[in-house]
Amino acid sequence: MKEKVEGTMEQTNEEIIPQEAHEQALQERFALAVDRIARLKQEQLIAEPFCSYFQKTAAFVSLTVAAYEFVASGQIYQASLSELGERNHRLYEDILPSAYASSYADPSYAEAVFGAKWGPIASFLYTELRSLIVFAHEQRTDRMVIRMELLLEIYSAFLAAAEEGQATSDRAGAGEPGSFYPPYEEIKRIIYWFVSDYAELAAEEKIAALVDPGRDFALRLVMDSDLADLHYLYYFGEYVTDNELTIARHLLDQPEETIRLMARTVSEGFRKGFEVTGRDITKKKTVNVRFCLGFERMIRQTVKDFAQLGLAVTINRASSTILEGRGVNRVGYYGAIPNKQFDFDHKDDQALVLDGQLITRRLEALKAAYEQHRDQAAVFAGPAVVEVFGESPVNLIIKNTVIAFSDKQQQLMVGYMSAAGELQNRYIPGDERSFTIIAFPVPEIGDHFKEIFDETILINTLDYDRYRDIQQIIIDALDQGGQVYVKGCNGNRTELTINLIGLSDPATQTGFENCVADVNIPVGEVFTSPRLAGTCGQLHVTRVFLNELEYIDLSLTIKDGMVTDYSCANFSQPAENQKYIRDNLLHHHPTLPMGEFAIGTNTTAYMMGKKYNIANRLPILIAEKTGPHFAFGDTCYSHSEDVVVYNPNGKEIIARDNELSLLRKSDPSKAYFNCHTDITIPYDELGELSVVLPGNTEADRSSGALAETTITIIKNGRFVLPGCEELNKPFE
């Protein structure tokens, strides 16, 4: 969709004409690029293997241009469902697992064809051009033009080198015509300046899509489409499979009250997030809704519910381009994931050109974007996220052919994320926003999809009051202690001591939050920010999925709350396992603190996982409620530590900080890590979880203090604390 020019009666012709001239110039650039790329498909002016590469790449770009014209002409709205499916498949087929090994998008194939030097360049360019698919469906002519011109600029450099090589060869009387490449650094410079020149464009697009309801491409599709006619799924431009079609059909079969219940769980959870923290939701005007295609009937009702709260909805597409930070995790709306290995291979593509100057430019562009949308950012309430789970597990391969960050670049990225987080908090203060997140299964989870879906609805709407009262019993026990002792069983090697922040006035204070289905759905956990000093031991899980990636025999060594060593058994080489953890769990940080310790109480969710043999496919959102869990990175109160919060019983939750987050007052760059990853020990791997009372800590014993007894909360995977017996009923 072309950006609309909004005018008023007061606008003069002088104000309107430049915009018309800009649009005309853009259309001329588009037409020229389309024509040149069409001719490029037939040209054989440079040597192999780049001749075939540019021909095939140009053919793919022409395919996206055809999609652009298909939408612009309106034919997309007259096409049959089968034709839409065939066209959609053609746009994505070369990166599907069955074809990926012979696609230029596969870094290993690109290296095999072009060598170690040129392979990353070729694979990067082909991958970046794949973002044309979504821009074609959105009719974003400008976004298409800049990428087509990038291709043509690089091709022109190869063509000029070939012509110079021909002339040199003719003069020298030797050499093969067209066999010369341009200098490698010249091509890298072209890519560098592409990323740098359009940094402002990318930053503005990112912030506007988050806070400006006027960027409504997806919102209009959700609200205006005939959802009983599944043609609409193909209008988004995302990859569509049976998963998305089946989810949409399943929601169509649901009674209206079920859809209202699902939507209200989201909107009410969001509202409660403001209520329990004492924040004023009436000061906010917008909320960002994120979801996977297929849930449009639920999302439409959610939009209506938010309108009743006075909130307009923004819906941004998950990034598909290096300019906006493409990665493994999708933030926004998205369709099916064509190939997780493709995402994994290209998550660090920006390392091809990343340096300190580019980091500075990106931060300047981000600040300018926030300034441009300052007023809209100030009334942004936060995100409401509908996740999915149950996709078939994928055994990802670590390739030495991918573009990867150097140690210096990792440090630059850590600095960038910290600075970007501070910018966000300046314009969208953490103590004034909230969020909510919920998850549902996809059909790929197996033959019992419908039953699992219906049980997930029940889990997401469990009784608030019942869990609140039971969890308060657990908190009352925890508040008596100075430490918590956790030990694994059944092959789990965990043995941890978690040091708790002490209470100066137990009558009015508590160290744990009673979390009951507001922002973090479903119900079922109590959590705290542990004291780092004295928190030590080993955390181990036999198998876990974190941010869509699997870890086998994951082990973290903790000393004074910080990760000091780590390993897993995903790969044969220890170095590969360590790199996998550092890149994806530690997010390039050399270490992370334990930002959260929690006890999950949702035994109903746990038994659903056991019943259908899907425990390893539950999302962390649900999995964290099925046992004690430990989050590494920031605390749960990141950027809002100074907001006073209370449990339902009126006690103030004082454990909102740790030793690192307190640095926000003296050195903010060291206070936050801009990540938070939960790791859960399932009940069947939990031997003991006990509260260590004062007088029984190691320090107390060494000083000769009288040892007191511990309070055991969980023993051999069952709740043994009096008053918690009801939590064991699902086990039966």
pLDDT for 253-267, tens place per residue? 999 999 999 999 999
Q: Which residue has the tokens 């959590």?
A: 527
Q: Report the candidate in 136, 128, 3, 129 with the shortest Cα–Cα distance to residue 65.
A: 136
Dihedral angle of Cα 716, 721, 724, 725, to the nearest 10 degrees: 60
Using 50, 70 and 90 to split pLDDT, how confident is the model at 123?
A: very high
- The pLDDT, as a whole number, for residue 701 is 47
Lowest-confidence pick of 64-78, 120-134, 413-427: 413-427
The predicted-structure confidence for 313-354, as pLDDT tens digits, reads as follows 999 999 888 887 776 678 899 999 999 999 999 999 999 999
Per residue in 23-44, pLDDT tens? 899 999 999 999 999 999 999 9
Q: Which pLDDT value is given to residue 71?
A: 98
Least confident of 125-134, 137-146, 558-567, 634-643: 634-643
Q: What per-residue confidence (pLDDT) applies to 168?
A: 58
User: pLDDT-derived band of residue 523, with 50, 70 and 90 as boundaries?
Assistant: confident
Average pLDDT over residues 209-213: 96
Which whole-number Å values give the CA distances from 196 to 323, 350, 394, in the listed order? 9, 11, 34
Q: How far apart are CA 582 and CA 596, in angstroms?
A: 19
- Return the pLDDT at 621: 85
Q: Which of 84-88, 108-112, 680-684 has the lowest mean pLDDT?
A: 680-684
Question: Which residues lie below 8 Å from residue 274, measured CB to CB, with a gap of 6+?
Answer: 280, 281, 381, 434
The pairing of beta strand 483-488 with beta strand 513-515? unpaired
Band the pLDDT of 694: cuts 50, 70, 90.
confident
Of the listed ranges 532-536, 560-564, 708-712, the least confidently predicted one is 708-712
**Nearby residues of 75 by Cβ (< 8 Å), 6 or more positions away:** none
pLDDT of residue 487: 97
* Whole-number Å distance between alpha carbons of 395 and 403: 20
| Backbone phi, psi, residue 678, to 5° | -90, 135
What is the residue-averaged pLDDT of the chain?
91
Query: Which pLDDT band holds residue 474 (cuts at 50, 70, 90)?
Result: very high
What's the pLDDT band for 706 if we cut at 50, 70, 90?
Answer: very low
**H/E element, 365:** helix 356-372
- In the prediction, which pLDDT does 11 show? 44
Question: What's the rounded Cα separation, in Å, for the pair 526 and 624?
Answer: 11
- Percentage helix, strand, coil, to 5, in the chain? 50, 15, 35
Residue pLDDT, tens place only, 33-85: 999 999 999 999 999 999 999 999 999 999 999 999 999 999 999 999 999 99
Residue 122's pLDDT is what? 97
Q: What are the domain boundaries of the chain?
A: 13-197, 205-437, 462-731
Angle at 364 between CA 363 and CA 366, to 5 degrees: 60
Count CB atoms within 10 A of the CB of residue 24: 10
Query: What pLDDT was estimated at residue 126?
Result: 97
Whether the CB-CB separation of 645 and 513 falls below 8 Å is answered with yes
Average pLDDT of the residues in 644-649: 89
In tens, the pLDDT along 153-188 reads 999 999 999 988 765 554 444 444 435 789 999 999
End-to-end alpha-carbon separation of the chain, Å? 55
d(CA 84, CA 82) in angstroms, rounded, equals: 5
In degrees and rounded to multiples of 5, residue 103 shows phi and psi of: -105, 145
pLDDT > 70? residue 492: yes
Whole-number pLDDT of residue 704: 46
Which of 32-46, 143-157, 407-421, 688-702 is least confident?
A: 688-702
Query: Residue 516: CB partners within 8 Å, gap ≥ 6?
Result: 464, 467, 468, 471, 523, 648
pLDDT at 696: 58
3-class secondary structure, 368: helix
What are the tens digits of pLDDT across the range 549-586?
A: 889 999 999 999 999 999 999 998 999 999 999 988 99
Closest CA to 415 of 360, 462, 454, 464: 360
